[in-house]
């Protein structure tokens, strides 16, 4: 697998607090990469560094062998799409209008709304399953509908890379799996998906490439079947468990042992 | 959707022209509409025509300029703060201009209309620079700094005015925002500045659409958030500074008009800006007509008329906002 998006010897910190030191990661192209790890292990921070929201203290993030900080802002926004954990929609905005704002990096100062913009917005709403909600005010939607609307915003941005920070949080189990299926489908269309996921079993089932992080380091990475076992879970999550094959997909499935919290 | 907005905006423009032409005829000396049009297109030097051309039309032009400036500044600040109850005065611009007028009068520098105008602009600019240098890190900090500076400057101004009675007299006339008598001041420059700033606001509006989604999302959509914020702040200062310079402090237009515009424009900042630039002048022209006809003799300052209109609109906006937040 080739990598066009990479982190090289990346040191990330907020003020004096070092989150990650000398972290290196190649994101496999055209694959679904899931980043897992306990709370505050630096997953979200790493994602923010990839999309240039956090300036590395040292090292660099490169896209096509070029430092992301060297890209013009709009050009980078045409390559990397990012969905943060809790985006807030403006008051009174409707679904279609919100999704349309994802087209910003494709527009210039004076250009008018084009047919290509219109098509991209319609396609994004269809892919995210919100086309029936197009004229509804966003603030009246349920949590799941709202999350799918935001996914449509990022899809309208039409980027080869999609980076999502815990996209399944606040969703019920049905919507969680719908979203993961959607991300899998986008990967099948050739996009590179990188998501921070909370649920290890979902990550094992949907991700082609799993990255396990702890305390700012990458503990293991690779196909879930190759790296996920009870030893890794003990090391990363400090969770005593057994790992069995998922009865449906055969991917690793984590089953915690009784008294796991003690 | 877009077609409807184009129709509505055209309608608002027609309304603006009608209100301006009809309004110019109304006042202590009534001039028929036909004569108003003739005075503007085919001036013959009759008393009616002189009143129209030298007094009423310039005054209407001031109302258009100040109305557009305050309304567009209001849109910018509300979008920037992501708060529908923000108004341009929260950045300390108005208080800065007021203090400069007071201090200028005390020092004998703001005796002429031109001096007043210069002092107001200088005060507005200095106040904004101060507020920006302290609060530039976040919108919330900016507002807090603006409110604090407003309190300090208002206190200082009040102290000066209580100590110096003739400064008090001069300030009294300025502080009640009014268009009466101000048409004789050199207003070409402020009006041109307003026209340019409104055009810049329209160009900036699409970026503000993205900024409205929050700093993180805007940044990853390819907007340089800090640069856009700075540009918006500069425009807010220039617009409200220029409006305050030509008309004194007129409250509520900057708060009220964006809410009216939102009814027609929806959430799109470019449309919101365009509607505000047309509806602001309409509102101020109507208020100015009111200021001329409400009393049998003399005039009510226009700022008092807008305040009377503004109170109920503010309550309506708060109630509506509360309803949205509760949903």
If one compares B124 and A187, the residue with the highest pLDDT of the two is A187
Tens-place pLDDT, residues A113-134:
888 899 999 999 998 889 999 9
* pLDDT reading at B85 higher than 90: no
Of B82, B214, B266, the CB nearest to A92: B266
CB B168 within 8 A of CB B161: yes
Contact B267 A140 (CB under 8 A): no
Q: How confident is the model at residue B245 (pLDDT cuts 50, 70, 90)?
A: confident
Domain boundaries, chain B: 2-326
Instruction: Find chain B residues with C-beta within 8 A of A93's C-beta.
Output: 266-267
Per-residue confidence (pLDDT) for residue B254, from 0 to 100 = 87
CB B186 within 8 A of CB B113: yes
* Smallest CA–CA distance from A95 into chain B, residue: B267
Q: What is the mean pLDDT of chain B?
A: 83
Per-residue confidence (pLDDT) for residue A217, from 0 to 100 = 92
E-assigned strand segments in B16-106: none
How much is the ipTM here? 0.88
Q: How confident is the model at residue B324 (pLDDT cuts 50, 70, 90)?
A: very low
Contact A104 B221 (CB under 8 A): yes
Identify the structural domains of chain A with CATH numbers, from first to last.
1-79+159-262 (3.40.50.300), 87-158 (no CATH)
**Which is nearest to A147 in space by CA: A162, A131, A169?**
A169
Tens-place pLDDT, residues B289-306:
888 887 777 777 777 888
Distance CA B324, CA A5 (A): 42
* pLDDT reading at B163 higher than 50: yes
Per-residue confidence (pLDDT) for residue B181, from 0 to 100 = 65
Tens-place pLDDT, residues B108-151:
776 676 777 778 878 888 888 888 888 877 777 888 898 899 99
Tens-place pLDDT, residues A129-184:
899 999 999 999 988 889 999 999 999 999 999 999 999 887 889 889 989 999 99
Per-residue confidence (pLDDT) for residue B272, from 0 to 100 = 93
- Four-CA torsion A50, A161, A101, B142, nearest 10 degrees: 0
* Smallest CA–CA distance from A52 into chain B, residue: B220
Axis crossing angle, helix B188-211 with helix B57-81, rounded to the nearest 10: 20
Place of tokens 């026209």: B195
Which own/partner contact pairs does B215-220 have at CB distance under 8 Å and 24+ positions apart? B216/A53, B216/A82, B216/A84, B216/A87, B217/A82, B217/A84, B217/A87, B217/A153, B219/A52, B219/A53, B219/A73, B220/A51, B220/A52, B220/A53, B220/A77, B220/A80, B220/A81, B220/A82
Axis crossing angle, helix B93-106 with helix B139-163, rounded to the nearest 10: 20
Architecture in CATH of B2-326: Orthogonal Bundle (1.10)
Of B206, B222, B266, the CB nearest to A73: B222
| Bridge partner residues of A164 (DSSP) | A83, A195
How many angstroms separate the CA of residue A238 from the nearest CA in chain B? 33
Distance CA A67, CA A65 (A): 7
CB A3 within 8 A of CB A28: yes
| Bridge partner residues of A218 (DSSP) | A213
How many angstroms separate the CA of residue B212 from the nearest CA in chain A? 6
If one compares B221 and B176, the residue with the highest pLDDT of the two is B221
Q: Which of A104, A106, A121, A139 to mutate to test the interface with B (most CBs of B within 10 A)?
A: A104
A–B CB contacts, 8 A cutoff, strictly below: 77
If one compares A111 and A26, the residue with the highest pLDDT of the two is A26
If one compares B297 and B16, the residue with the highest pLDDT of the two is B16
Compute and round to an integer the Cα radius of gyration of chain B: 20
CB A61 within 8 A of CB A52: yes
Kindly state the average pLDDT of the residues B219-236. 90
What residues contact B55, with CB distance under 8 A and at least 6 apart?
B183
Instruction: Find chain B residues with C-beta within 8 A of A194's C-beta.
Output: none
Instruction: Find chain B residues with C-beta within 8 A of A91's C-beta.
Output: 84, 267, 321, 324
CB A76 within 8 A of CB B222: yes
Contact A90 B212 (CB under 8 A): yes
* Chain A touched by B322 (CB under 8 Å): no
* Structure tokens given for A74: 């709009």
Tens-place pLDDT, residues B170-200:
777 666 666 666 666 677 888 898 999 999 9
Of B213, B262, B324, the CB nearest to A101: B213
What residues contact B119, with CB distance under 8 A and at least 6 apart?
B97, B100, B101, B103, B104, B109, B110
Instruction: Find chain A residues with C-beta within 8 A of B321's C-beta.
Output: 91
Residue A211 three-state SS: strand
**Cα atoms in the Cβ-side hemisphere of radius 13 Å centred on B23:** 28
Q: How confident is the model at residue B326 (pLDDT cuts 50, 70, 90)?
A: very low
Per-residue confidence (pLDDT) for residue A261, from 0 to 100 = 55
Contact A52 B219 (CB under 8 A): yes
Q: What is the mean pLDDT of chain A?
A: 91
Kindly state the average pLDDT of the residues B199-215. 92
* pLDDT reading at A40 higher than 50: yes
Per-residue confidence (pLDDT) for residue B325, from 0 to 100 = 41
* Smallest CA–CA distance from A159 into chain B, residue: B221
| Bridge partner residues of A25 (DSSP) | A7
What residues contact A35, with CB distance under 8 A and at least 6 apart?
A43, A46, A47, A194, A195, A196, A197, A211, A213
Per-residue confidence (pLDDT) for residue B302, from 0 to 100 = 78
* Smallest CA–CA distance from B221 into chain A, residue: A77
Of A77, A92, A93, the CB nearest to B220: A77
Residue-wise DSSP of B85-137: T--GGGGTHHHHHHHHHHHHHHTT---SHHHHHHHHHHHHHHHHHHHHHHHTT
What residues contact B225, with CB distance under 8 A and at least 6 apart?
B211, B215, B218, B219
* pLDDT reading at B7 higher than 60: yes
Instruction: Find chain A residues with C-beta within 8 A of B207's C-beta.
Output: 104
**Cα atoms in the Cβ-side hemisphere of radius 13 Å centred on B206:** 17
Instruction: Find chain A residues with C-beta within 8 A of B203's C-beta.
Output: 109-110
Per-residue confidence (pLDDT) for residue B175, from 0 to 100 = 66
Q: How confident is the model at residue A92 (pLDDT cuts 50, 70, 90)?
A: confident
Of B220, B266, B327, the CB nearest to A53: B220
Per-residue confidence (pLDDT) for residue B110, from 0 to 100 = 64
């Amino acid at each position: 697998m080739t990598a066009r998006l990479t982190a090289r010897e990346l040191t990330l910190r907020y003020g004096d607090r070092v989150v990650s030191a000398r972290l290196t990661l190649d994101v496999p192209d055209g694959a679904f990469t899931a980043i897992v790890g306990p709370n505050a292990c630096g997953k979200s921070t790493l994602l923010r560094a990839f999309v240039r929201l956090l300036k590395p203290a040292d090292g660099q993030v490169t896209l096509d062998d070029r430092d992301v900080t060297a890209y013009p802002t709009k050009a980078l926004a045409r390559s990397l799409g990012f969905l943060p954990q809790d985006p807030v929609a403006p008051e009174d905005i409707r679904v279609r209008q919100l999704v349309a704002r994802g087209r910003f990096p494709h527009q210039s100062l004076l250009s008018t709304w084009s047919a290509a913009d219109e098509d991209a917005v319609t396609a994004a709403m269809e892919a995210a399953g919100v086309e029936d909600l197009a004229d509804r005010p966003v603030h009246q939607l349920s949590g799941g509908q709202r999350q799918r609307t935001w996914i449509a915003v990022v899809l309208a941005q039409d980027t080869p890379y999609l980076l999502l920070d815990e996209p399944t949080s606040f969703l019920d189990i049905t919507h969680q799996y719908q979203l993961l299926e959607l991300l899998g489908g986008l990967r099948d269309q050739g996009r590179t998906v990188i998501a921070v996921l909370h649920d290890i079993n979902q990550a094992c089932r949907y991700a082609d490439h799993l990255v396990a992080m702890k305390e700012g380091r990458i503990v293991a990475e690779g196909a879930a079947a190759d790296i996920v076992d009870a030893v890794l879970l003990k090391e990363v999550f400090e969770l005593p468990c057994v790992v069995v094959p998922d009865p449906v997909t055969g991917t690793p499935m984590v089953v915690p042992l009784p008294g796991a919290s003690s | 959707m877009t077609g409807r907005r184009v129709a509505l905006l055209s309608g608002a423009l027609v309304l603006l022209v009608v209100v301006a032409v009809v309004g110019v005829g109304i006042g202590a000396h009534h001039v028929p509409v036909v004569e108003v049009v003739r005075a503007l297109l085919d001036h013959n030097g009759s008393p009616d025509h002189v009143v129209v051309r030298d007094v009423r039309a310039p005054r209407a032009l001031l109302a258009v300029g100040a109305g557009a400036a305050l309304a567009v500044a209001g849109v910018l600040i509300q979008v920037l703060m992501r708060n529908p109850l923000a108004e341009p005065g929260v950045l300390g611009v108005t208080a800065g201009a007021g203090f400069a007028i007071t201090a200028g009068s005390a020092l004998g520098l703001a005796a002429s209309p031109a001096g007043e105008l210069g002092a107001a602009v200088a005060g507005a600019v200095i106040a904004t620079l101060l507020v920006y240098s302290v609060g530039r890190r976040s919108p919330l900090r900016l507002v807090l700094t603006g409110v604090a500076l407003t309190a300090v400057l208002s206190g200082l101004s009040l102290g000066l005015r209580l100590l110096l009675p003739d400064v008090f007299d001069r300030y009294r006339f300025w502080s009640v925002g009014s268009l009466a008598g101000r048409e004789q001041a050199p207003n070409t420059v402020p009006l041109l500045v307003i026209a340019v700033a409104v055009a810049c606001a329209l160009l900036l509006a699409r970026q503000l659409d993205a900024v409205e989604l929050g700093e993180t999302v805007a940044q990853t959509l390819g907007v340089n958030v800090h640069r856009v914020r700075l540009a918006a702040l500069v425009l807010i200062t220039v617009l409200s500074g220029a409006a305050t310079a030509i008309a004194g402090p007129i409250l509520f237009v900057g708060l009220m008009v964006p809410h009216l515009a939102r009814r027609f424009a929806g959430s799109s900042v470019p449309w919101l800006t365009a509607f505000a630039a047309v509806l602001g002048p309409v509102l101020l022209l109507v208020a100015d007509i009111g200021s001329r006809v409400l009393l049998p003799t003399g005039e009510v300052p226009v700022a008092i008329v807008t305040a009377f209109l503004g109170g109920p609109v503010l309550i309506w906006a708060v109630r509506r906002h509360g309803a949205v937040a509760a949903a």
